[in-house]
A and B are shown apart, each in its own frame.
Chain A
């Protein structure tokens, strides 16, 4: 054991974003009664996240491990920290108006969001299985509650219950896998596990090790909604409040992928050959299930849920490539995906109106006539989800499949690309409804987008297009950060 048990200042700096957010979240809960206008708490959460981004950047100036290797600050960590914090900020922007209309704006929601983000921030920065698990649980429990936030709405309760039951079942597998791994290698630190596996001491327990990795795969695959553990996603995304679905599809998913990449490519990289076929099959199945199931959806939230499964499949392709270019491609992709999906969900939230009464694809009819700008922005997001050039989604796919070809995954690439042609169909259906079908009379008029929704839409659209025209902005950093600290 190291002699000095008192953490140094730089160690504190390395977890300062989490500290800031935890303090902010706790204060928001305890001081709620001081604020008669709950919106103020949203503003506090927003600026706390902004501050956390600042601290992440500061911490990045002094990278390294902290707390005996529990925390690892490297480029990869910083990238994902900023991504989940930014996702949180956009979620706040699009939730405020939604919650006010639902008469449910409270400190609780904003605090839960902040706590969930603390969990994700820990997931992406920890270099230790126990720490990862704590981060995962912090993030998950907060998100279970958020999925059922509008208690009076039965769809919300159903979503939360499903998410909670299936989620805790899957995390149990993960925990069991961690325990087995500890049993085999005697370590929970990723670098240490890697060292033990490389040393060949575990050769006689190869089968046990395979079982351990398989159980951990169950936990991770559930969190990223990869096949065959994707079935919760459509129900949860459809049932949860629209801004929460947006958040779930961007933040927790990116964080879960980050830890999936880190665990697979540091600790378990020495036994790559044993898990590669598993990931190959899962990646393909995820893309196929997501895209083909999405073809038949009529509810737009459910459609976006299946689309998010399909996109998880593309990122799984990058993971299967198991290379630095693959990691960089996945980082770029998750950033682009967060931008385009948050944008799309912001518009869905807007069109759904109070009580989410208009969530069918057909409710988008004539949007291009009623609100041309909103329709045009949604088109940008959908084209990006299809992967049309000059959008972030295109470059994301391009980098992922380039990495896959680099790793000689020719068939996975061809099948994946054909899948993305299938995907064009269901995204185009939304465009068809918006632009080619006349508006129908509705009881509840569609107001102009609220300031928060408009801001989310525009930020997401600018990000989507910027990533599509100057991808170097993000890709350069991703490329530099893709060699994980081992």
Chain B
């Protein structure tokens, strides 16, 4: 049992224990799950050191047979690409548990149990190195989120939950077909082995095969991202979910899609990825601008933040498919930034909702005078989200735009419009909510941050600043890993020389 096994096992065990805890003692349930998730978070920090040393290789690898025929292996490991995403998931889980502390009052056991199950699912996706295992965790993460939205959400929660489930399911069955097809062709689900087969030319695919397989995987991931025009489930799901659900959905689950593209789509189908990049970039830019424009006219704060996600995730896709070092680094960095800043925005919107029980921007105004600290934190988060220099999103967006510029000026130009628009919709929302006249109900209900709420926000704000100025603490493992991916995509022949040796060793180890 190594560290990664424990990261999956502890929350899984926690899930069952939480369901069995007495139902009349919600305090115990909260403390227990908070403890479990904090332990998992602290343990996950132990991954940083080893991965930093050698970010291009898989660390804490476990590779044992799960099922003989077909050969399905429990193969997990973490590298520079998945490291921060795993830590993001383990960090946000205790935060979400704290966020729900007073908000969730019904079916407490189930709620916290599902939070832990969700953690198992998402960490599992990030560390799986076997396509079948990847699919299993992918689907497993779907179930708790479905319940989180459907049971504890707002008015239209059932509609949103079912829509979320069906959209994701429709994409993932196609991915399953592609996974099986690949297996029948190669006899393995093992991702490093498949990458090695592609890189060394042992797995030859006809262009049509490559295209359809790429598309099947890409469709599943693009729904999850979500890429315009497959985004329609997102505003409903985010808008209707309870705060903790929105946070996990936006900060972690959307990243499953972008992570999948970088981890699976690019290395396995380099040719198809290159050939299809133009229209994918087109959709990404359309999403950036469309998401921003629609966000601008949302009367509901949560839906506004949700649409801003569509716009932000467009940047990630743009960066990935620019196939430049800067672009793809920026994209991966942006995944983390979006996780921190949008997660924080959802939490802050949740604070307002807990106080005033409405999400309509029009019901607020002048919150700054009654809750100055809440306002301060909200403004910092907003500035981070719109990409103010010295804060985290700036780094990611800058790198993405730089990468896009290297490919085509027009890509960067249109994407930059999205940056400007994001300042418009976010600042306008802040202005209408926090400044101006303070209506009587707001004066009566809205109070400033309490201790627990501070405890939640401080780490997030620290990270926004740290990731904005201390880029070198975070970016090197990402860069190292992306270099490897880019080599595979851009020059399959060149990748042979550069990466064949370590990969062969790995796969020999895998056997």
Contact residues of A with B, CB < 8 Å?
Answer: 383, 386, 388-390, 394, 398, 401-402, 405-406, 410, 413-414, 417-418, 420-421, 424-425, 428-429, 431-432, 435-436, 470-472, 475-476, 479
Residue in contact with A402 in the complex, picked from B67, B135, B146, B183, CB distance below 8 Å: B183
A428 touches B174 (CB 8 A): no
Instruction: List chain B positions with a Cβ less than 8 A from chain A.
Output: 67-70, 135-136, 139-140, 142-143, 146-147, 150-151, 157-158, 161-162, 165-166, 169-170, 173-174, 176-177, 180-181, 183-184
Given contacts A428-B162, A432-B162, A435-B151, contact A401 B68 (CB under 8 A): no
The answer on a CB contact under 8 Å between B139 and A388 is yes
* Chain B residues, Cβ within 8 Å of A476: 68-69
Bound state CA distance, A417 and B175, in angstroms? 10
Query: Is B170 touching A421 in the complex (CB atoms < 8 A)?
Result: yes
B135 and A389 contact, CB distance less than 8 A? yes
6 closest residue pairs by CB, A with B: A417-B173, A389-B136, A421-B170, A421-B169, A389-B139, A436-B150
Q: Are B69 and A417 in contact (CB under 8 A)?
A: no
With A413-B177, A414-B174, A435-B150 known as contacts, the answer to whether A471 contacts B67 (CB < 8 A) is yes
In the assembled complex, the Cα of A479 lies from the Cα of B67 at a distance in Å of: 13
Partner of B166, one of A398, A402, A421: A421
Give Cα A421 to B176, complex, Å: 12
B157 A436 Cβ-Cβ under 8 A:
yes
Interface contact B140-A424, CB-CB below 8 Å? no
What separation, in Å, do the CA atoms of A429 and B165 have in the docked complex?
A: 12
In the complex, how many angstroms separate the beta carbon of A378 from the nearest chain B beta carbon? Answer: 14
Could you tell me if A417 and B177 are in contact, using CB atoms closer than 8 angstroms?
A: yes
> Is B158 a contact partner of A472 (Cβ separation < 8 A)?
no
Complex Cα distance A389/B157, Å?
24
Docked complex Cα distance between A268 and B150 (Å): 50
Determine how close the nearest CB of chain B comes to the CB of A294; give it in whole angstroms: 14
- 30 residue pairs of the A-B complex, CB under 8 angstroms, read A383-B143, A388-B142, A389-B135, A389-B136, A389-B139, A390-B140, A401-B176, A402-B180, A406-B184, A410-B181, A413-B177, A414-B174, A417-B176, A417-B177, A420-B173, A421-B166, A424-B169, A425-B166, A428-B146, A428-B162, A428-B166, A431-B150, A432-B150, A432-B162, A436-B151, A436-B158, A471-B67, A472-B67, A472-B68, A475-B67
Could you tell me the distance in whole angstroms from the C-beta of B85 to the nearest C-beta in chain A? 21
User: Please, how many angstroms separate the alpha-carbon atoms of A420 and B166 in the complex?
Assistant: 10
- Residues in B with CB closer than 8 Å to A388 are 139-140, 142-143
**In the bound complex, how far is the Cα of B69 from the Cα of A411, in angstroms?**
24
Other-chain residue from B151, B174, B181 in contact with A405 (beta carbon distance below 8 A):
B181
Main secondary structure of the interface of B (DSSP, over half): helix
Main DSSP-derived SS at the A contact region:
helix
| B162 contacts A425, C-beta separation under 8 Å | yes
Set of chain A residues within 8 Å of B161, measured between Cβ atoms: 432, 436
A431 partner residues in chain B, CB cutoff 8 A: 150
Q: How far is the CA of A252 from the CA of B161 in the complex (A)?
A: 37
Instruction: Report the nearest B residue to A389, measured CB to CB.
Output: B136
Residues of A within 8 A of B176 (CB): 398, 401, 417
Residue of A nearest to B139 (CB): A389
| Contacts A414-B174, A414-B177, A472-B67; A389 near B165 (Cβ below 8 A) | no
- Quick one: closest B residue to A413, CB to CB? B177
Tell me whether B69 and A479 are in contact (CB under 8 A): yes
Contacts of B169 in A (CB 8 A): 386, 421, 424
Contact B184–A405 (Cβ < 8 Å): yes
Q: How far is the CB of A71 from chain B (nearest CB, A)?
A: 30
B159 → chain A closest CB, angstroms = 10
- Min Cβ gap B499→A in Å is 30
10 further contact pairs, Cβ within 8 A, besides A436-B158, A472-B68: A389-B140, A390-B140, A398-B176, A398-B180, A414-B174, A421-B173, A424-B166, A428-B162, A432-B161, A476-B69
Complex CA gap A435/B148 in Å reads 11
**Nearest-CB distance from A481 to chain B (Å)?**
14
Residue with the highest number of chain B CB atoms closer than 10 Å, among A401, A429, A432:
A432
Residues of B within 8 A of A417 (CB): 173-174, 176-177
How far apart sit A417 and B69, CA to CA, in the bound complex (Å)? 21
Most chain B CB atoms below 10 A, which of A388, A421, A476: A421
- How many angstroms from the CA of A436 to the CA of B242 in the assembled complex? 14
Q: Within the complex, what minimum Cβ distance (angstroms) separates B64 from chain A?
A: 14
Residues in chain B near residue A472, CB distance under 8 A: 67-69
B158 with A432: CB separation less than 8 A: yes
- A-chain residues with CB within 8 Å of residue B146 when the two chains form the complex: 428
The residues of A that contact B150 with a CB separation of less than 8 Å are 431-432, 435-436
Contact among B69, B158, B166, B177 with A475 in the assembled complex (CB-CB below 8 Å): B69
A340–chain B nearest beta-carbon distance, Å: 16
Contact residues in A for B170 (Cβ distance below 8 Å): 418, 421
Q: Which of chain B's residues have a CB closer than 8 A to the CB of A402?
A: 70, 180, 183-184
Quick one: which of A394, A401, A432, A471 contacts B177, CB cutoff 8 A? Answer: A401
Q: Which residues of chain B have C-beta atoms less than 8 A from A470's C-beta?
A: 67
Q: Residue of A at shortest CB range from B70? A: A402
* B111, chain A: closest CB distance, angstroms: 12
Q: What's the nearest-Cβ distance from chain A to residue B152, in Å?
A: 10
A175 to chain B, nearest CB (A): 39
Which residues does chain B contribute within 8 Å of A401, judged by CB atoms? Answer: 176-177, 180
Q: How far is the CB of B212 from chain A (nearest CB, A)?
A: 9
A441 to chain B, nearest CB (A): 19
- Inter-chain contacts of A414 with B (CB < 8 A): 174, 177
* Least CB distance, A290 to chain B, in whole angstroms: 16
A389 to B117 Cα, complex, angstroms? 14
Contacts of A413 in B (CB 8 A): 177, 180
- The docked-state distance in angstroms from the alpha carbon of A196 to that of B392 is 77
A429 vs B184: C-alpha distance in the bound complex, in angstroms? 35
